[in-house]
Amino acid sequence: MTRPQDAVLTNARLVLEDRMVDGTVVIEHGVIIRVDEGGTSLPGAVDLQGDYLLPGLVELHTDNLEKHFVPRPNTHWPAMAAIVGHDAQVASAGITTVFDALCVGETSTGGDRLEILAGMANSIREARSKNLLRAEHLLHLRCEISHPDTASLFAEFIGDPGLRLVSIMDHTPGQRQFTTIEKYRYYYIKKHGWSDAEFEKFVVQQSEASARYGASNRRTIVALAHENGLTLASHDDATVAHVDEAIADGMLVAEFPTTIDAAKASRDQGMAILMGAPNVVRGGSHSGNVSALDLARSGMLDILSSDYVPMSLIHAAFLLSRADVGFDLPAAVRTVSATPAARVGLDDRGRIAEGLRADLVRVRDTGDMPLVRGVWSRGDRVI
């Protein structure tokens, strides 16, 4: 690996953890060694022309890689082309640390997630070993506990140095993401084009699978995660009972709580609340669940995730800062940088501060949306 380039970035609006200043950042050997207020006349300094300079974004949950592996139904893309294309997309969105959320187990019949699971994981490892990636890619395993093979598939990843985050999912009909069977019916019939009879058969199959495998898979995965120092997250909690179960299992992140009650219980018990950036950009949940902006307004939003649209992460942070929900720009940027980094134990990034990694994003706010004009990863300019 080549040595990171030294650089001086000046005439920037620095978005620090708790304030903004006009200033200069000095980088050596991939690390921020100085943060100064005001400009500099040092030879070779890069003039950012008054653009914002943000810490590199930290993405904890995106399934965007799946879309690159299977860009159309029954169309599988070459693995290395898929990971490099995905990496370019997240880096150009200002994301310098990405947890690729790979699904372990299927949520419906006829899916291809099990088929591409090993290929996605291997592509990340190979691309990393060949120094082909602009962002740092880590693993987030999303474990669907109603699938019979989930626990054994998860166990195969133990010892992977890239694995840092594990979430427990249960897409049994009529609860969590789809709190009523009517919402579940609408989504799956529209997605798969099923008849009513096919849907009813699927509901019976999924309910039986959850009853048979769910509790056992959950116990096994939670135990393995704790034994190996992995951060645990709940997923789509809808009730106080769901949150109580998550707390009993030692979970630190509440991903996409679907109701105000679940979000409040998560906050009261010390979990960081993660919501989708697309929810902010669209002004609401695509599943009809609680609005991320409503949670922000109630002081119950800690982390944003781009989920299925990488560019939504930085877009949502800027929207959050001007949505009259109590977030200034530094607070909004913390939801996509410092807070997610800290919650998964990455204390070397997420802020513009001396001694931290030089993961930085140059941004110009166009009024409509923020425009990423430059990205540095460990001091190397990658965009």
- Residues 15 and 336: their CA atoms lie apart, in Å, by 12
Per the CB < 8 A criterion, the answer to whether 349 and 340 are in contact is no
Give the bridge partners for 292, in sequence order. Answer: none
The predicted structure's pLDDT at residue 1: 42
What is the rounded CA–CA span in Å between residue 91 and residue 246? Answer: 32
Query: Who wins on pLDDT, 294 or 146?
Result: 294
Q: Band the pLDDT of 2: cuts 50, 70, 90.
A: very low
In sequence order, what are the residues at sequence separation of 6 or more whose Cβ sits closer than 8 angstroms to the Cβ of residue 282?
none
Q: Phi and psi dihedrals of 322, rounded to 5?
A: -125, 20
Strands 52-55 and 7-15: parallel
Q: Return the amino acid letter for 261.
A: D
Beta strands in the chain (DSSP E): 7-15, 20-28, 31-37, 46-47, 52-55, 57-62, 95-104, 136-144, 163-169, 231-235, 253-255, 272-276, 303-305, 360-365, 370-377, 380-381
Average pLDDT of the segment spanning 164-172: 88
Looking at the predicted structure, is the pLDDT value of residue 128 above 90? yes
Q: Which residues contact 47 (CB under 8 A, 6 or more apart)?
A: 10, 11
**Tens digit of each residue's pLDDT (9 = 90 or more) over 217-274:** 999 999 999 999 999 999 989 999 999 999 999 999 999 999 999 999 999 999 999 9
Distances (CA, A) of 322 to 319, 326, 362, 368: 5, 9, 19, 12
Lowest mean pLDDT among 150-154, 195-199, 308-312: 195-199
Closest CA to 32 of 2, 54, 61: 54
| Proportion of the chain above pLDDT 70, given as a percent | 91
> Domains of the chain, with CATH numbers?
1-55+349-383 (2.30.40.10), 57-347 (3.20.20.140)
Digit-coded pLDDT (tens) for 32-50: 999 999 999 888 999 999 9
Tokens of 238: 């809808």
Model confidence at 19, in pLDDT bands (50, 70, 90)?
A: very high
The pairing of beta strand 31-37 with beta strand 7-15: unpaired
**Cβ atoms 61, 340 nearer than 8 A:** no
Q: What is the pTM of this model?
A: 0.91
Partners of 165 in beta bridges: 140, 231
